[in-house]
A and B are shown apart, each in its own frame.
Chain A
Amino acid sequence: MSAASTVRAIVVRDLSRAARQRSRLLGGLVRPFMWLLLVGTGYNAIAHVEGAVSYRAYVFPGMVVMASLFGAMLTAISTVYDREFGMLRLMLASPAGVPTILAGRALAATFVGALQGAVVLLCLPLVASVTPGQGIGACAALMLSAATSSVLGLLVAAPLRSVENFAGVINIVLFPLLFLSGALYPTGRMPAALGVLARINPVSYMVDLMRHALGQPTEFGITVSLTVLLATTVVAFMLTTVIFDPEQRFTARQQTARS
């Protein structure tokens, strides 16, 4: 009961914050639509992917994943802001303990990511036909992708000391994860080295699962994608609980104050 109340409090707070940061929410939605309209439309005329109706339809699952990836990871990484501005210590003082606090953050980030992805997913009928079954499958794939993204976001945030690193994370972590995922082109056509990176990139399996749900040609298959994503989520969460140092802010501040 105590842990459930704590998780619920964190989720409600994070969702309230997300709803009130409209520019951030809009920015998160503009990004995939820009790619879809500008890149998708531009390449539609010159690019053809085997088995896909059109390039725009082919790139669509990747854009859904992109929306949820950025939404979930950035919400999870905002833990760094909470650490910097003192809200995290409040959570850490809760009797529920660190794993419960991290679970609450992950769940909140999952909802934010899934909501952003769902807005993009709702536009799918504009570029391709979709059956109700495919829609339900896509929602399930979206939830799992958002969950994995949120936990990866926590893993990235765990060792970060300040918000100054935040912008760098987008360029160094998020964009490479996206470009090496098969969201924009099949990973099978990548050079060998990049192909290896794509195969160890969990986002590749998010995109592949979404393609499977929407009836597009896949590279890994549903069982492999599900297994990789579930395993990544569990392992990343466990790793986060190990490397997350609840004393980090206090010790850093006290050391700074004494130096």
Chain B
Amino acid sequence: MIASAPAIETIGLGRDYGRTRALDALDLTVDRGTLVGILGPNGAGKTTAMLLLATLLRPSRGRAIIFGRDSVGERAAVRRHLGLVFQEASIDGLLTVEENLRFAAGLMGLGGPVAQRAVAATLERMGLVAKASQPARQLSGGWRRLTDIARATVHAPDLLILDEPTVGLDPEHRDRIWTLLDTERRDRGTTILFSTHYLTEAESCDRVILLAHGRVVAADTPPALMGAIGSEVVEIEGAGAEDAARALQAVSTECLTVKTDRGYRIGITGAHGDLARTVGATPRITRFAIRPVTLEDVYFAKTGGTEGRPTDAATFTGKTG
């Protein structure tokens, strides 16, 4: 590991599957010890980006440097620093929790007493001691995922790459997983890169990267991304939403107007005294609300919202502000 190098540096990193361009050109720098979220609709290139960084796919173009080492030329050295959690848990149901960890430790080159100590410490840290001798196939989805994360961290990786680590889990397990990941980061300085569709999970990130159609469409801190939308968001729904949105544009300091399947989201800044009256005067409005900006607003604005909708059709109907 080169001491001064960032955790991840990619230069024009891209990958094609046949004639399909899955990831166009990813330029990215991730500092050590940071928490970085990758967001984007299905098919945006998130998993491809993560597999490239995990050295499991070879790039079609560009390169990735992990802790100062090339992900293709120095693949073995890079892998020693990585802990990977895939979309589906990589746990052998016929083995016990402890055996799964021992297997993972062995794959990462740990053997003998070193592996034993690493497994025991991981079981303790992840709260899995009581489940250690239980066959993994008997675990619930939440415990399987915890075991999977324990498996990925048994060799104390410097970089954890997690592809939708909390998908399908109940809030309790999601909370437990994020607490454990925070502890990994705080205690060991582990850099964490993850993808998610739960946008609230990304709000605590140091940096968020939004992908759409294989391209980075936004990358910044969550406050900066949300600030670009406005200070608040007006939601208007109903058949008359478009008329109301036009009327609003005339009376407010609008940052961004986003059309969604149900109506409009309009980012505004400053006071909004007349907004309710303006929208209220428009017929056929079923819902009107003013609320703080969330990452979901950024997501809809930058990615085009639903799967398959082209980014520019999207959604940008005006950008003053």
- Enumerate chain A interface residues (CB-CB to B < 8 A): 1-6, 8-10, 12-13, 16-17, 20-21, 86-87, 89-97, 246-247, 250-251, 254-255, 257-258
- Determine how close the nearest CB of chain A comes to the CB of B156; give it in whole angstroms: 14
When the two chains form their complex, are residues B94 and A21 in contact, meaning their CB atoms are under 8 A apart?
A: yes
| Chain B minimum-CB-distance residue to A2 | B109
Residues of chain B lying within 8 A (CB to CB) of residue A254: 17, 22, 47-48
When the two chains form their complex, are residues A9 and B106 in contact, meaning their CB atoms are under 8 A apart?
A: yes
When the two chains form their complex, are residues B106 and A5 in contact, meaning their CB atoms are under 8 A apart?
A: yes
Within 8 A of A (CB), among B27-68: 42-43, 47-48, 51, 54-58
Residues of chain B lying within 8 A (CB to CB) of residue A255: 17-18, 20
When the two chains form their complex, are residues A94 and B79 in contact, meaning their CB atoms are under 8 A apart?
A: yes
With contacts A95-B79, A254-B47, A258-B43 known, is A247 near B109, CB below 8 A? Answer: no
With contacts A17-B92, A254-B48 known, is A6 near B109, CB below 8 A? Answer: yes
Residues of chain B lying within 8 A (CB to CB) of residue A94: 79, 107-109
Residues of chain B lying within 8 A (CB to CB) of residue A2: 109
When the two chains form their complex, are residues A16 and B95 in contact, meaning their CB atoms are under 8 A apart?
A: yes
Tell me the complex Cα distance, A63–B18, Å: 47
Residues of chain B lying within 8 A (CB to CB) of residue A17: 92, 94-95
The reply on B110 being an interface residue by CB < 8 A is yes
A contacts with B: majority SS: helix
**Most A CB within 10 A of own CB, among B20, B82, B99, B106:** B106
| Chain B minimum-CB-distance residue to A8 | B106
Within 8 A of A (CB), among B143-194: 151
The reply on B104 being an interface residue by CB < 8 A is yes
Would you list 29 pairs from A and B whose C-beta atoms are within 8 A, ordered by A residue?
A: A1-B109, A5-B105, A8-B106, A8-B111, A9-B102, A9-B106, A9-B107, A12-B102, A13-B103, A16-B94, A17-B94, A20-B94, A89-B90, A90-B107, A90-B151, A93-B56, A93-B79, A93-B82, A93-B107, A94-B107, A94-B108, A94-B109, A95-B76, A97-B75, A246-B56, A247-B56, A251-B17, A258-B20, A258-B22
Tell me the complex Cα distance, A80–B4, Å: 41
Tell me the complex Cα distance, A93–B83, Å: 9
With contacts A16-B99, A94-B79, A254-B17 known, is A87 near B106, CB below 8 A? Answer: no
The reply on B86 being an interface residue by CB < 8 A is yes
Tell me the complex Cα distance, A254–B115, Å: 34
